[in-house]
């Protein structure tokens, strides 16, 4: 380098920072850590809300299963006591939960505002050598169904054919 270049370099004013570069680095690091803390907190709150909804849904399902098992126990007691199938079906059709009592019995147990547990049973007459005729039931269907019926949405006329 020549002397004039060195002289020009010395003459240029340097920008003096009253804070210092290390202080600015610390501020940037603190802001970065704060950003990650906020993102972590929002993620954990979202996970908590999701797990709370899942736990509420599972507990509602188990309560509905318990109620359905209570109804099944009552139906089983009626089938054991009754002499023929028609009398048993007549008595079972008086239950408030039972919707249909023919060869298959179906009943619904409300689970939430928008879902219910639907159970469908089949009643059969079995012949036992010792006791004679015996009524038995078997589960045909045990599933959750939606109670709210959604209306089909109409199509938007985005692109209509010109005739």
How far is residue 85 from each of residues 77, 81, 93, 94, 96, measured CA to CA in Å?
13, 11, 12, 15, 20
Answering whether pTM is above 0.85, one says: no
Q: What is the pLDDT of residue 77?
A: 85
Q: First vs last Cα of the chain: how many Å apart? A: 82
Residues 57-96: tens digit of each pLDDT = 999 999 999 999 998 898 888 888 877 777 777 777 777 6
Q: Which two tokens stand for residue 21?
A: 């570069």
Boundaries of every domain in the chain = 41-146
Confidence of residue 123 (pLDDT cuts 50, 70, 90): confident
């Amino acid at each position: 380098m020549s002397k004039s270049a060195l002289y020009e370099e010395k003459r240029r004013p340097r920008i003096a920072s009253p804070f210092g570069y290390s202080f600015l680095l610390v501020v940037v690091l603190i802001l970065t850590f704060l950003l990650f803390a906020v993102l972590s907190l929002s993620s954990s709150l979202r996970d908590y809300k999701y797990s709370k909804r899942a736990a509420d849904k599972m507990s509602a399902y188990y309560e509905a299963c318990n109620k359905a098992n209570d109804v099944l126990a009552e139906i089983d007691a009626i089938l054991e006591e009754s002499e023929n199938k028609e009398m048993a079906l007549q008595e079972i059709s008086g239950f408030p939960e039972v919707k249909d009592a023919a060869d298959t019995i179906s009943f619904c147990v409300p689970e939430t505002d928008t879902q219910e547990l639907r159970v469908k049973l089949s009643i059969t007459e079995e012949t036992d050598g010792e006791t004679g005729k015996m009524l038995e039931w078997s589960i045909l269907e045990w599933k959750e169904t939606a109670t709210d019926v959604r209306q089909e949405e109409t199509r938007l006329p985005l692109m209509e054919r010109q005739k």
